[in-house]
Structure 1
Amino acid sequence: MNKVPRRRVLALGATAISGLLAGCGSSVGDEPSTTARSSSENTGTASPPQTSASEPPASTTTSSRDERLPLVYSTSSGPFSKSATPNRGWVHIVADGESADLTFDARLCTSQSVEVTLTNPVSTEYRLNVATESESSPVSSTPSSETPTCGTGTHITGSANVPNDWEELPVTVNGYEIQRLERSGTTGRLWQLPDPIVF
Structure 2
Amino acid sequence: MANDSGLDTSTARLLSIGMAFLAGVLAGAVLVAAVPGLLGGPVESGPDPQNPPYTTASGGPSCFDGDVTPNAGWVHEVAVGDSYAVTLNATVVHEPGTEIRADVIPRSGNGYELALRTESVTPDRSFECERVHTEFSMAASLPTSYQRLIVTMNGRELVGATREDTTGDLYPLPNPLNATR
TM bracket (short chain):
0.5 to 0.7
Q: Note the C-alpha offset of 1:181.
A: 1.9
Matched, 1:89 2:73: yes
Aligned length: 124
C-alpha separation in 2, matches of 1:131 and 1:94: 24
Distance 1:98 1:158 in 2: 20
Equivalent position of 2:86 in the other structure: 102
CA shift digits 1:128-185 (9 cap, x unpaired): 0001126xxxxxxxxxxxxxxx863111112111111111111011111011121111
The CA distance in 1 between the partners of 2:46 and 2:64, in whole Å, is: 34
Question: In the superposition, relative to structure 1, how do residues 174 and 68 fare at CA in structure 2: closer, same or farther (>3 Å)?
Answer: farther
C-alpha displacement of 1:117: 0.5
The match for 2:48 is: 47
Runs of 4+ in 1 over 3 A off after TM superposition: 79-84
Structure-2-length-normalised TM-score: 0.61
Give the whole-Å Cα distance in 1 for the aligned partners of 2:93 and 2:119: 13
What's 2:53 paired with? 70
Are the equivalent residues in 1 in contact too, given 2:147–2:162 (CA < 8 A)? yes
TM-score, normalised with respect to structure 1: 0.56
Q: Structure 1: which amino acid aligns with 2:70?
A: P
CA distance in 2, matches of 1:80, 1:181: 29
User: Is the contact between residue 89 and residue 196 of structure 1 (CA under 8 Å) also seen in structure 2?
Assistant: yes
RMSD: 2.4
Query: Aligned partners of 1:166, 1:86: CA distance in 2, in Å?
Result: 30
Paired residues of 1:126 and 1:169 also in contact (CA < 8 A): yes
- Between the aligned partners of 2:66 and 2:77, the Cα distance in structure 1 is 29
> Unaligned stretches of 5+ in structure 2?
1-44, 121-129
1:118 is the counterpart of 2:119:
no
Alignment check: 8 A CA contact 2:73 2:173 kept: yes
1:119 positional shift:
1.3
Distance 2:68 2:108 in 1: 37
- What secondary structure sits across from 1:109 in the alignment? strand
State the partner residue of 2:157: 177
- Deviation at 1:86? 2.2
